[in-house]
């Protein structure tokens, strides 16, 4: 601590350790919160076609077209450890060949600071709703809205909203 450089060294190293402790404190205050929010999803139009499946092996599969409305208020999820939210809508159903199928239909990224009230009408699905096989006819499909939050402090946490 005799020279300026050695004083600056110990000061800087101490500040970095304190910053690390603060970040850990930020993580601890928010890691165990329950982050599910009620979501309202309504399907307005469904159409199923049976076409050649161009995403995989060349067989005819069922292709579904879903148009839906989704509304939710995401404000309670944004705390000081959340940088952005990644939302996606999955359709879950079971067929004769597979016990559980999950297909992602639509996703959206919501950054911190943007509008947190989600109110979208007549949204078309972004991704193709292919079934491997012909199992979509006459099947009841459950829509699951999932939101994955990207925090500042640590790894990705995964919380589900039901709808």
Partner 1 sequence: MLSAFKSIPTHMDYKGQKLAEQIFQGVILVSAVIGFIYGFTIQQFGWTVYIMLAGFTISCLLTLPPWPMYRKNPLNWQPALPETSGETRDKPQENQKKKKHK
Q: Which residues bind partner 1 (CB under 8 A)?
A: 1-4, 7-8, 10-11, 14-15, 18-19, 21-22, 25-26, 29, 78-81, 152
Structure tokens at 96: 């004769």
**Calculated CA dihedral for residues 138, 162, 120, 92, nearest 10 degrees:** -30
Residue 21 or 111 having the CB closest to partner 1: 21
How far is it, in rounded angstroms, from Cα 59 to Cα 134? 10
Residue with tokens 């404000």: 75
Shortest reach from residue 38's CB to partner 1, in Å: 21
Residue 152 or 159 having the CB closest to partner 1: 152
Measured between alpha carbons, how far is residue 80 from residues 22, 34, 55, 145, 161 in Å?
Answer: 13, 15, 41, 23, 20
Structure tokens at 139: 């099947």
Shortest reach from residue 3's CB to partner 1, in Å: 6
Shortest reach from residue 84's CB to partner 1, in Å: 14
Shortest reach from residue 33's CB to partner 1, in Å: 12
Residue 41 or 159 having the CB closest to partner 1: 159
Residue 81 or 149 having the CB closest to partner 1: 81
Residue 79 or 84 having the CB closest to partner 1: 79
Q: Is 87 exposed, middle or buried (0-12, 13-18, 19+ CB in 10 A)?
A: buried
Shortest reach from residue 105's CB to partner 1, in Å: 32
Contact 120, 71 (CB under 8 A): yes
């Amino acid at each position: 601590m005799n020279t300026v450089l050695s004083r600056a060294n110990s000061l800087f190293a101490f500040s970095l350790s304190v910053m690390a402790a603060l970040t850990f404190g930020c993580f601890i205050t928010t890691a165990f919160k329950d982050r599910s929010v009620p979501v309202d999803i309504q399907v307005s139009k469904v159409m199923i076609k049976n076409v050649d499946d161009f995403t995989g092996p060349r067989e005819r599969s069922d292709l579904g077209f879903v148009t839906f409305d989704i509304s939710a208020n995401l404000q309670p999820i944004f705390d000081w450890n959340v940088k952005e939210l990644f939302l996606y809508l999955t359709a879950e159903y079971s067929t004769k060949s597979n016990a559980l199928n999950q297909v992602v239909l639509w996703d959206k990224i919501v950054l911190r600071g943007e509008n947190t009230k989600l109110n979208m009408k007549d949204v078309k699905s972004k991704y193709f709703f292919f079934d491997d096989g012909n199992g979509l006819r006459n099947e009841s499909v459950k829509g699951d809205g999932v939101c994955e939050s990207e925090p500042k402090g640590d790894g990705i946490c995964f919380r589900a909203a039901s709808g």
